[in-house]
Amino acid sequence: MGSFILRRLAYAILSLALLSVTIFFFVRVTGDPAALLAGADASAEQIERLRQEFGLDRSIPVQLVSFLFDLVRGDLGRSLFYNIPVSELIMARLPATLTICAATFALSVAVGVPTGIWTAINPDGWLDRAARAIAMFGMALPSFWAGLILILVFSVNLNWLPAGSGRGFSSVILPAVALSGYFIASNFRITRSAMLDVLNTEFITLTRAKGLAERRIILMHALRSSLIPIVTLSGINLALLINSSVAVETVFGWPGIGTLLFDSIAMRDFPMAQGIVVVIGVFIILCNFVIDVLYAYIDPRIRLAA
């Protein structure tokens, strides 16, 4: 297990390095960043000054090395618009996004997985039919629209919950619910189908023939085998979650990283956008690392064969 984790960690670090280099070149192949930053009506002199300011007049290898060194130190450059370090802005905004994402993720697991288990044990019952219909609806529901409806009902009409941010736990509820439709539905579906598959296997028949308690059969044997697809989906969902939080952050006025990215692109704040992409990339790589470790923890075949 230890060597497995070390190997996965090495992969994660390698991915990070590749991501950084890719971002570095990506920014530079889309054209001269200095010219882009300066705007269409800038003079050659202004562009040249910007170029020096950002060190773009140095050779590419030198730029790459200094970019990587800065990254390692956590220096993502300065925002053009706010004129303060990008990392400071990101750190100020990141907790808001992570709060929404964590709440949505927790909600999607807490609702989707038990419902999936229950409906797999009792297929074609009324709860199964209802859950499948609602899940179809949840998959198709755009989160920004759900957000608007939730604000209308629970904030404007009923005045139960705040529509904006900054009021502690109560202000997390509506955005998390708005964002969670797709995630609850996908968790429910994958759990239900994985459990149905597992419950039909011969090893589950043998656990019954052994006279084990039903609770042990479902929660120890069947659920553990179903965890692999559930964990795989969770990894994909976490990445998707960060990306789709933008819409909900905008609707609810949450000062998160999604709105920051949106604004920085709109205002062509290049270092800002680049920094956010790096941070999101790091987050996704971290999630994948955790998922790899979880796989190994769940399945001895992965742990021992690797």
Partner 1 sequence: MSTPIPPHSAPPVLEVEELRTSLGSRRGRGNVVDGVSFSLSAGETLGIVGESGSGKTMLGMSLLRLLPRAAQIVSGSIRLDGRDIVGCTVAEMRDIRGAEIALIPQDPMVSLDPLFRVGTQIAETLRAHKPVAAGQAMSEAVELLRRVNIPDPELRAQAYPFEMSGGMRQRVVGAIGIACTPKVLIADEPTTALDVTVQAQYLALLQRLQRETGVALIVITHDFGVVAQICDRVAVMYAGRIVEQAEVGRLFDAPAHPYSRALIEASAAMANEGGGRRFPSIPGEPPPLFGRGEGCAFAPRCAFARDRCRREAPPQTSAGPAGHAVRCFYPLEGDAR
Candidates 85-93, 188-196, 269-277, 294-302; binding stretch for partner 1 (CB under 8 A): 294-302
210 binds partner 1 (CB under 8 A): yes
202 binds partner 1 (CB under 8 A): yes
201 binds partner 1 (CB under 8 A): yes
Q: What is the residue whose two structure tokens read 């690392």? A: 289
Q: Nearest to residue 70, comparing CAs of 267, 274, 242, 269?
A: 274
Contacting partner 1 (CB under 8 A), which of 119, 207, 237, 288? Answer: 207
215 binds partner 1 (CB under 8 A): no
125 binds partner 1 (CB under 8 A): no
Contacting partner 1 (CB under 8 A), which of 14, 216, 219, 243? Answer: 216
Residue 126 CB, shortest distance to partner 1, in Å, is 17
Query: Helix, strand or coil for residue 160?
Result: coil
Candidates 39-47, 74-82, 221-229, 281-289; binding stretch for partner 1 (CB under 8 A): 221-229
Candidates 26-34, 65-73, 219-227, 262-270; binding stretch for partner 1 (CB under 8 A): 219-227
Contacting partner 1 (CB under 8 A), which of 224, 236, 243, 265? Answer: 224
Residue 292 CB, shortest distance to partner 1, in Å, is 17
219 binds partner 1 (CB under 8 A): no
Contacting partner 1 (CB under 8 A), which of 1, 84, 91, 206? Answer: 206
From residue 6, alpha-carbon distances to 11, 235, 288, 298 in Å are 9, 20, 14, 17
- The answer to whether residues 96 and 165 touch, using CB atoms and an 8 Å cutoff, is yes
**Residues ≥6 apart with Cβ < 8 Å to 221:** 198, 203, 204, 207, 212
205 binds partner 1 (CB under 8 A): yes
Site string for partner 1, 30-69 (x = CB under 8 A): ----------------------------------------
1 binds partner 1 (CB under 8 A): no
Residues in binding contact with partner 1, number by CB under 8 A = 22
221 binds partner 1 (CB under 8 A): yes
Contacting partner 1 (CB under 8 A), which of 53, 166, 214, 286? Answer: 214
Which residues lie across from 85 on neighbouring strands? 78
- The answer to whether residues 228 and 140 touch, using CB atoms and an 8 Å cutoff, is no
Kindly tell me the number of DSSP H helices and DSSP E strands found in the chain.
14, 0
- The answer to whether residues 298 and 228 touch, using CB atoms and an 8 Å cutoff, is yes
129 binds partner 1 (CB under 8 A): no
Distance CA 44, CA 70 (A): 28
Distance CA 32, CA 47 (A): 10
**What sign for the dihedral angle of Cα 140, 145, 150, 152?**
negative
Distance CA 60, CA 54 (A): 13
Distance CA 139, CA 251 (A): 19
Task: Return residues touching partner 1 (CB under 8 A).
Answer: 201-203, 205-214, 216, 221, 224-225, 298-301, 304
